[in-house]
Amino acid sequence: MEKKGTSVFSNSLIWFGAGVSIAEIVTGTYLASLGMSKGILATIIGHLIGCTLLFLAGIIGAKTKKSSMETVKISFGQKGSILFSVLNVVQLAGWTAIMIYDGALSANGIFNTGNWVWCIVIGVLIIVWIIIGISNVEKINVVAMTALFILTIILCKVVFFDNHTITKIAGDGLTFGAAVELAVAMPLSWLPLISDYTREAEKPVKATAASAIVYGLVSCWMYVIGMGAAIFAQNAGIDQIMLKAGLGIAGLLIIVFSTVTTTYLDAYSAGISSETISHKINGKYMAIAVTVIGTIAAIVYPMDDITDFLYLIGSVFAPMIAIQIADFFILKKSSEERKVEVVNVVIWIVGFILYRYLMTVDIIVGNTLPDMVVTIIICVIVNKIIKNK
């Protein structure tokens, strides 16, 4: 009996859960110095860029029925993809730690039992989600997402309608281009794992489109809440805003469950990516191990500023997915049978260096889009030259 694919609704729920995140709200606070109008514009532009790329990356996995890191083999070869699989597991372990840290910090602001206690509670719940599995988590997600949706609306009301004093936020030197890049960074961080979910979709294109659109809308919403919290609520933390609204237990629930539903995706995909490094690795066990490591890291290390981490993810994965887009959609070529596609690895290194250089230049659309456009052009030209030799 053939296994039934995941529905469009199920994929939408997964990515709604990915978008409702304390980390996204915190990143939104970084844009507050631009003011609400410019901050919202930067958020929308950044998410349009990031979610278009998210859609294209998801389509590759959906059409080939391969996980994210399996699709990397199409452009970089069997062994060449291992580098990106290792980097992806590392970044996902980093995200797991950051998410647990942010969630625990906010939860502790409402119910003070110690950050480490909340780190453990969140870590255990993520492991429960992993054990249940993606195909069985839909019913739990419906309940969790409904609760999160209601509570997020309440949070929105408190931030934008119950605070009448606009606080002027001192300029921190953040340019509009840098703000766009911070908005691109979140959807970009999901690029190396969206195919882990779209590959199982019953209706590949519709499910991928729904995933990108739902995530984009919810993520923008989180950014705007973060900006509002910084501008209208005197820089209050999310935990304090919830307490002010009388959302003691309800606030605790939104923090804990939003952290779990988002971080589960990181840990689950770390497990899937590890299977592409070695078939001897059990993905579910690795996902649990990543959650344990992330929980310990969240307890031990302070993770209050993640901007450098976001830019590092961009510099690694933006040129990678650019090469994949060029190969799959434009050149329609596959290097899956090769051990290493050296040409594409060299082009990726050029794209990586270019991204790091563009970080020093203020471009109104951020540096991800220019980096990817240049990388795609280089990839197409070089491959055409090699083909014509």
User: Does 253 reside within a domain?
Assistant: yes
- Evaluate if residue 197 carries a pLDDT over 60: yes
User: Does 258 reside within a domain?
Assistant: yes
d(Cα 134, Cα 250) in Å, to the nearest integer? 26
Q: What is the mean pLDDT of the segment spanning 242-257?
A: 77
Rg (CA), the chain: 20
- Check if the beta carbon of residue 76 is closer than 8 Å to that of residue 342: no
Q: 163: how many CB neighbours lie within 10 A of its CB?
A: 18
Residue 2's pLDDT is what?
A: 46
pLDDT in tens, 153-178: 877 877 777 765 565 566 667 899 99
User: Does 342 reside within a domain?
Assistant: no
Residue 196's pLDDT is what?
A: 85
Residue 304's pLDDT is what?
A: 80
Q: Structural domain tally of the chain? A: 1
Six-digit token string for 9: 């609704």
- Check if the beta carbon of residue 13 is closer than 8 Å to that of residue 209: no
Six-digit token string for 344: 């594409």
Six-digit token string for 85: 């699989």
3-state SS of the chain is: CCCCCECHHHHHHHHHHHHCCHHHHHHHHCCHHHCHHHHHHHHHHHHHHHHHHHHHHHHHHHHHCCCHHHHHHHHHCCCHHHHHHHHHHHHHHHHHHHHHHHHHHHHHHHCCCCHHHHHHHHHHHHHHHHHHCCCCCHHHHHHHHHHHHHHHHHHHHHHHHCCCCCCCCCCCCCCHHHHHHHHHHHHHHHCCCCHHHHCCECCHHHHHHHHHHHHHHHHHHHHHHHHHHHHCCCCCCHHHHHHHCCCHHHHHHHHHHHHHHHHHHHHHHHHHHHHHHCCCCCHHHHHHHHHHHHHHHHHHCCCCCCHHHHHHHHHHHHHHHHHHHHHHHHHCCCCCCCCCCHHHHHHHHHHHHHHHHHCCCCCCCCCHHHHHHHHHHHHHHHHHHHHHC
Highest mean pLDDT among 3-7, 150-154, 306-310: 306-310
Q: Share the mean pLDDT of the chain.
A: 87
pLDDT in tens, 219-241: 999 999 888 888 876 656 677 77
pLDDT in tens, 298-335: 999 888 878 888 888 889 999 999 999 999 999 999 99
Residue 348's pLDDT is what?
A: 98
Binning pLDDT at 50, 70 and 90, where does residue 340 land? very high
pLDDT in tens, 357-373: 999 998 999 999 999 99
- Evaluate if residue 218 carries a pLDDT over 80: yes
Q: How far is CA 53 from CA 122, 127, 311, 319, in A?
A: 30, 30, 16, 11
User: Does 380 reside within a domain?
Assistant: no
Lowest mean pLDDT among 77-91, 107-121, 131-145, 309-323: 131-145
Six-digit token string for 345: 């690895």
Highest mean pLDDT among 142-146, 193-197, 360-364, 372-376: 372-376
Beta-carbon contacts of residue 124 (< 8 Å; ≥ 6 apart): none
- Evaluate if residue 244 carries a pLDDT over 90: no
Residue 69's pLDDT is what?
A: 87
d(Cα 40, Cα 106) in Å, to the nearest integer? 24
**CATH, residue 297:** 1.10.4160.10
Task: Write the single-letter amino acid at 50.
Answer: G
Residue 1's pLDDT is what?
A: 42
d(Cα 244, Cα 109) in Å, to the nearest integer? 12
d(Cα 61, Cα 58) in Å, to the nearest integer? 5
- Evaluate if residue 279 carries a pLDDT over 80: yes
User: Does 362 reside within a domain?
Assistant: no
- Evaluate if residue 346 carries a pLDDT over 90: yes
Residue 265's pLDDT is what?
A: 83
Domain membership of residue 65 as a residue range: 8-305
d(Cα 348, Cα 375) in Å, to the nearest integer? 8
**Could you give the percent of the chain with pLDDT greater than 70?**
93
**Whose CA is closest to 132, among 280, 264, 1?**
264
Task: Write the single-letter amino acid at 141.
Answer: N
pLDDT in tens, 260-277: 878 888 898 898 889 888
Residue 49's pLDDT is what?
A: 94
User: Does 289 reside within a domain?
Assistant: yes
Residue 278's pLDDT is what?
A: 84
- Evaluate if residue 135 carries a pLDDT over 50: yes
Q: What is the mean pLDDT of the segment spanning 128-152?
A: 75
d(Cα 345, Cα 350) in Å, to the nearest integer? 9
Residue 322's pLDDT is what?
A: 96
Q: What is the mean pLDDT of the segment spanning 16-29?
A: 84
Q: How far is CA 332 from CA 56, 74, 323, 329, 383, in A?
A: 14, 10, 11, 6, 11
User: Does 268 reside within a domain?
Assistant: yes
- Evaluate if residue 52 carries a pLDDT over 50: yes
Of 43 and 312, the structure prediction assigns the larger pLDDT to: 43
- Check if the beta carbon of residue 259 is closer than 8 Å to that of residue 18: no
User: Does 338 reside within a domain?
Assistant: no
pTM for the model stands at 0.86
